Structure 1
Amino acid sequence: MASTRYVMLFPLILALLVFFANAIPQDAINDLCSQTQDKNFCRNTIGADPRTKAAADLNGVLLVATSQTINQVIDGSSHIDAIKGGISDELGQNRLGVCDSDYENALTKFQEAWSKANEGAFMEVITFVQDGTNAVIDCINVYRRHGPIEGNPLDYFNQNVFKLSEIILIVNNKLIG
């Protein structure tokens, strides 16, 4: 009976060995994060994501970073929905409307970047990431023009999108060679 248990455990042990043998080394993630402007952010997002630890190669890391960016954009859009009712002035409503549109555009662009990364079309990833980031920049700029300069209520999400975009472009450039 004991030998039957070992025979049954063998496939599980083999699967775990293959999984960990194909995972991207932690040194590669540390190297990636050391190239970013905010190393702690990189380690706490990309480095801590279980999908990164399971990624077999840099393309997997690229998909994780792009996915996290998409999540930030979705969270930013949800934040817009949550604060809309609390803004009563016309200028504030207009600015938030621009950001809503910009975040919808950014979502589309980052989803396209993910698709292109998944296809291995790394040169096209650059364009979509730049376009998505530029949409977020427009949301920032709307609070600096046409009236008094105000703090952007999406600053947290904006900054996270910038930092993740940097990570995407660093990984993507490594894949291009």
Structure 2
Amino acid sequence: MGTYKFLIVLVLSLIVFFNPCIGLNEVVTNICQKTRDPQFCLDTFKSDPRSNAVRDAHDLAMLALSITDLKIQDNMNTFPEIRKKIKDQVSLHRLNVCQYDYRRAFKGFREAYFQAEKSAYWDAMNTVANATNYVIECQNVYRIGKPIAESPFAATNLEVVTLSGLIYSIISMAAA
């Protein structure tokens, strides 16, 4: 009898250990499956312990906005270190543009959070779109003028733009 209990515990442990959606409740998984990029959605929320408390699309939209807000804050924290390494005026100008754009994006995503919190979903989607445009402007400043350069924020910019699409999708579900 003890051997069977051990085997049952072992099998259950292996199932839990190798489950790719561990940490995600069923609501998050179901909502993610309805998005344009389910795997990105699942990856976004699987490492965030707050996802366990999600009860509906509204909660998930709030969490997605919060995650995006933190990404933007983290990126803004890199500006002083990057500034120390800059040696030319063009790079300094580009960094200043991005810093200004990121401040506006941060403010926009924060505003969208409060709009979504009040279930003003259409306003939140509009605000997310505008805030995302600031991040795109940061990316574009490295492509416009000479010399064309790779943005030090390219990966974060892409992630924020992708998160914005996810937010838009989830907010659409919350509004329905």
Give the shorter-chain TM-score range.
Answer: 0.7 to 0.9
Q: Which residue of 2 aligns with 1:49?
A: 48
What are the equivalent positions in structure 2 for 1:67-86 lying under 5 Å apart?
67-86=66-85
Q: 1:135 to 1:28 in 2, by over 3 A?
A: same
Is residue 167 from structure 1 mapped to residue 166 from structure 2 by the alignment?
A: yes
Q: Distance in 1 between matches of 2:112 and 2:77?
A: 21
Q: Distance in 2 between matches of 1:55 and 1:69?
A: 17
Q: Which residue of 2 aligns with 1:60?
A: 59
For the Cα contact (< 8 Å) 2:66–2:113, is it kept in 1? yes
Q: 1:92 to 1:35 in 2, by over 3 A?
A: farther
Runs of 4+ with deviation above 6 angstroms: none
Q: 1:76 to 1:123 in 2, by over 3 A?
A: same
Q: Distance in 1 between matches of 2:37 and 2:80?
A: 29
Q: 1:176 to 1:145 in 2, by over 3 A?
A: same
Give 1:28 shift.
3.6
For the Cα contact (< 8 Å) 1:133–1:161, is it kept in 2? yes
Give 1:115 shift.
0.3
Amino acid in structure 1 at the alignment position of 2:143: R
Q: Give the length in aligned residue pairs.
A: 153
For the Cα contact (< 8 Å) 2:25–2:54, is it kept in 1? no
Superposed CA deviations along residues 65-95 of structure 1, whole A, max 9, x for unmatched, are: 0000001111111112221110111000000
Instruction: Indicate the SS of the match to 2:78.
Output: helix
Q: Which residue of 1 aligns with 2:134?
A: 135
Is residue 146 from structure 1 mapped to residue 156 from structure 2 by the alignment?
A: no
TM-score normalised according to structure 2 size: 0.81
Q: Distance in 2 between matches of 1:149 and 1:38?
A: 31
Superposed CA deviations along residues 90-146 of structure 1, whole A, max 9, x for unmatched, are: 000000000000000000000000000111110100111001100000000000112
Instruction: Indicate the SS of the match to 2:145.
Output: coil
Q: Distance in 2 between matches of 1:92 and 1:79?
A: 15
Superposed CA deviations along residues 135-162 of structure 1, whole A, max 9, x for unmatched, are: 0000000001121211010012111111
For the Cα contact (< 8 Å) 1:32–1:170, is it kept in 2? no
Instruction: Indicate the SS of the match to 2:147.
Output: coil
For structure 1, the 5+ residue unaligned runs are 1-24
What are the equivalent positions in structure 2 for 1:80-119 lying under 5 Å apart?
80-119=79-118
Give 1:38 shift.
4.5
For the Cα contact (< 8 Å) 2:60–2:170, is it kept in 1? yes
Q: Distance in 2 between matches of 1:90 and 1:37?
A: 41
Q: Distance in 1 between matches of 2:76 and 2:165?
A: 21
Instruction: Indicate the SS of the match to 1:88.
Output: coil
Q: Distance in 2 between matches of 1:79 and 1:36?
A: 31
TM-score normalised according to structure 1 size: 0.80
RMSD (Å) for aligned C-alpha atoms: 1.6
Superposed CA deviations along residues 7-36 of structure 1, whole A, max 9, x for unmatched, are: xxxxxxxxxxxxxxxxxx834423433444
